[in-house]
Structures are given as C-alpha cells and as structure tokens.
Amino acid sequence: MTKTSLLLTAYALFAQGTSATPLVKRNLPSEDLKVQTSKFTVQGTIFPNQTDVRFFGNIPYAEPPIGSLRFRPPVSVKPRNETINGTWFGPSCIQYSSGSKTVYSEYLTGFLLSPGQQTSEDCLTLNVWTPSGMKEGDKLPVMIWFHGGGFTSGGSASQYKYGDRIVRDQNVIVVAINYRLNIFGFPKAEALDGQSMNPGLLDQRKAIEWIHGNIHAFGGDAEQMILFGQSAGGSGVDLYTYSYPFDPLVRGFIAQSGSASRSYSFDASGSNFTYIASQVGCDVSGTKDAIFECMQSKPATDIIGVYNKYNASNNNGAPLSFNPTPDNQVVFSNYTDRQERGLFAQLPTIYSTTNAEGSSLLDFTPDGPSGGQAAIDAATQRTHCGATAGALARRKFNVPVWRVRYFGEWPNLNPFDWLGAFHSSDIPMIFGTSDLRGPDTELEKETSKYYQDAWASFARNPGKGLLDYGWPTFDPADQTLVKLGNGSAKAIFGDPNEFDAAC
C-alpha cells in the first residue's frame, strides 16, 4: 500500500469515528451547559471525545442576512424567548466552488468543512469552546478565530480547526465565527454607491461586538480578547487593525498567512454583480436599485449556482470574482500610506507565514504545480513580504511585533514531499489536531505543544507573554525571525533578511 493510500485509509477510519452528531453531556449538572446571554439562553453540550470541554454552537450574533438584509451590513441580533440549541455548529455560509480539484479536496479534506456540514444564507453564528467546571467570576483569555478560504468558502465547522484541544490544554476560551463569503459577503454592487461594500468584514466586527458584550457569561474576559486567523482569516485580522484603529475591542492580533498588504480592486460599474443578475432573470436594463432589489429576491442557490458554473474561457477570458473591495470604511486602496502614518490599531501583533505557502495554492497535480519549486517560492514570497510590510510598520511606531516562519513537515500532514510546509499546515499545530489522518511523531507532538503554548502566552498577555516565552520582538537587523518546526520542537531564531531581502 502506498504512503498516500495509507493516509487516506487512516483519515477514513477517523471520519467514521467522528460523527457530526454531538455527544450527550456526561456527569455535569445541566446548568453548566446552559448559559444566559444578554439576548437569549444557549444550551450547550460536552464536545465529542472530550470530558472537560463545553461547546456552545450555533449562537446567532446578527439577524439572518436574507431578503432586504441580503448584501447589506449585518443587523444586531434581537432578543429571543426560546433557548438556542447550541449542541452543534449552525450552518456554514454559502460556499463558492468551481469544482476544480485541489490538494485539499483530494487529500487534505480536514481543512475543509466537516463531513455532513450544512450551508445556508442564514449563517451568522459563532461557536464557543470553554473549559468545564468553571467557577462563577472566572475570567479566561479569549481567542477569536477567523477562518480562511479565500473569502469565497470555508467556515468554523472544520475538523483541523476545532477548538477543544487548545481549550483543554491551555485553559483559554476559543470562539470561531462564520461570516458571509463570495457574492453574499462582497457583492460589488453598483447600487451600494461605494459604501458598505464588504458586509462579510462587517460581519466580523458585529461578531466581535457580540462577544465583547457576552463572553463573560461563558467565563471569558472581554478585556482580554485577541484575534487570530489564517489565509483570508489572517487577512481579515490584519484588515481589522486598519478598519478600527481607535476602537478595536481586542488586545492583540495574530495574522497567519494573510495580511492587508495586497491590491484591492473597485468595480464602479458593478459589472460582476450585474452579470449574475442577468443570469438569474433580473432585468438589467433597469436602474441599479431595481437590479439590486431583484437580486435580493432571488433564491440564494440560483445566485451561487451561476457563480459556481462560470467559465472565464467561455466569456472572452473575463474574470468573475467577489472579494474585498475598497470602500474607505473597512477596506482601503492604499495600505502603504496607512502604514506610514500609523493608522492601525497599535497593539501587539504576530505575523506568521509558512515556508511553502504556494505549494498547495497553485494549480494542483500529484507531481506538483507547473513551474515547480520556482513557482512555489514566488507565491510564498508574496505572502511573506506582505507580512513583513505590516511588521515593519508596527516596529516604526514601537508596537510589539513578532515575525514567525513555520517549516514543519510531518508524515500525517504531507501526502506529497513537494508540499513542504504548505499554506495552512501550521493550523493543526496550533489547534492540536494534527493526528486527524494518522498518529503524530513525538517531535510533532512536542512542536504542537510548543506552538500552542506560544499562542496562548500571547493571548494571556499580548505585550509580554512572548517576551517571557523567550521570543525577541521583530528587528530586521538582528536574529529575530522565529523559526518553528525547523528540526527542533522549540524556536530557532534567525536573520529576517534571509527571506526579507527580496521584498
């Protein structure tokens, strides 16, 4: 049997043993699994395969973004008389999928939505993992997770990103949110007149406001919250620092494999939105407001169906995309300018990247992407340089900032040698979930524990936690690049210019 088939068999066996049906509570009083928030009560459960981690899922933080609220900023959730069934995740937001095969869809499905996970337009919910046996008055650090997926897909219900193990091992609270994606989160509609163009990012803020006002009910400290996210989630974390420089509501940021330092395009005519409208039966000869209202009335499945089936080669090569766009509210057209002026939340920040960001993101074949290692390195460098730009801006304003680069390669995470430390391969290290497709090596376990300890140290004290952990703040002229998974369970410190010189 080949290495790949052994890994797939291991994953299949694991998946059979981890149904999406939550376990019933075990030996805990019912009140430990029922929490009263400011708007409603949530009934939670004990998380599967754990005895000491509570889970409260499917918690609405905004009204359903349907009908006249589709494509609009989120509206705060209203009080509800009923008890929310929080014993499992609510639906994930509607996903974009071109149907193309990727290394994730074929070999690394644990990074995608969990088996059987449903999707819906009514998806603005969050999920809380918290230690059981907490006492009244407990105030634990809160780590708020933004998932990745290119702002087109993904969600909080994803096996490698379950928060139970880091909660169990680090005595923190983890909150993972859903936010609108693709055309529903980034509609680029002309009728919006350049305002509130990114409801998906506004969802993130709305969720943080809800968490800040309610996390005490779960034993969390609203004054000790950090954001962490990866890929699009990492970009979301970094974008957030520029969107809310004076009122961030959190105390620190961890941006993994994503940053605000990229180009954002503005489609003033709303041509992409109008194209979708024309395909679902809207009269596009009418006014921009009429087109918008028509799109709000169409079935969500029809809208995403057009997007999923779009083929640029059949449309003179014209791209069709829906992603963050400048509105001078939460996305700006020039981040270099904002970095120069210090227009960001000047709070402790970690920028983390992997050593082979490009390997899993380029066109997939079992032999590796076309262009080989040179193409992988070029894509990796783009992500790395965006993180470095953000780090240099923080250093200029004396903000504590750390730069991390991850090098880990493990048998149960790497079905192909050419993947290296691929984009998202650091996630299982942080969440402690790397044994999903097979057992960890001893070094892998130790590396994951060290990684978890670092992230939790930052959460407990963003300004000093990592200094006490032995990590120097970023200085391009000193040995301050934190190398993880580089042959040692602990960090090795290197010269940032080894990778930054080409930026």
Fold of 3-267+324-500: Rossmann fold (3.40.50)
Query: Is 50 exceeded by the pLDDT of residue 333?
Result: yes
pLDDT band, residue 18 (cuts 50/70/90): very low
Query: Is 50 exceeded by the pLDDT of residue 11?
Result: no
Give the pLDDT score at 31. Answer: 62
Catalytic residue, candidates 132, 158, 231, 235: 231
Query: Is 80 exceeded by the pLDDT of residue 41?
Result: yes
pLDDT, one tens digit per residue, over 394-427 is 999 999 999 999 999 999 999 999 999 999 999 9
To the query of whether residue 82 is one of the catalytic residues in this protein, the response is no
* Residues 6 or more apart in contact with residue 168 via CB below 8 angstroms: 50, 52, 53, 131
User: Is the separation of the CB atoms in 470 and 488 below 8 Å?
Assistant: no
Q: What is the DSSP string of 162-195?
A: -SHHHHHHH--EEEEE----HHHH----GGGTTS
C-alpha 433/C-alpha 436 separation (Å) is 6
To the query of whether residue 457 is one of the catalytic residues in this protein, the response is no
* Residues 6 or more apart in contact with residue 374 via CB below 8 angstroms: none
Catalytic residue, candidates 384, 423, 424, 457: 423
Domain ranges for the chain: 3-267+324-500
C-alpha 314/C-alpha 279 separation (Å) is 14
pLDDT-above-70 percentage for the chain? 94
To the query of whether residue 216 is one of the catalytic residues in this protein, the response is no
Query: Is 60 exceeded by the pLDDT of residue 219?
Result: yes
pLDDT, one tens digit per residue, over 149-197 is 999 999 999 999 999 999 999 999 999 999 999 999 999 999 999 999 9
Handedness of CA 87, 88, 89, 90 (dihedral sign): negative
Q: Taking the model in full, what pTM does it have?
A: 0.93
DSSP letter at 356 equals B
Catalytic residue, candidates 132, 147, 158, 357: 357
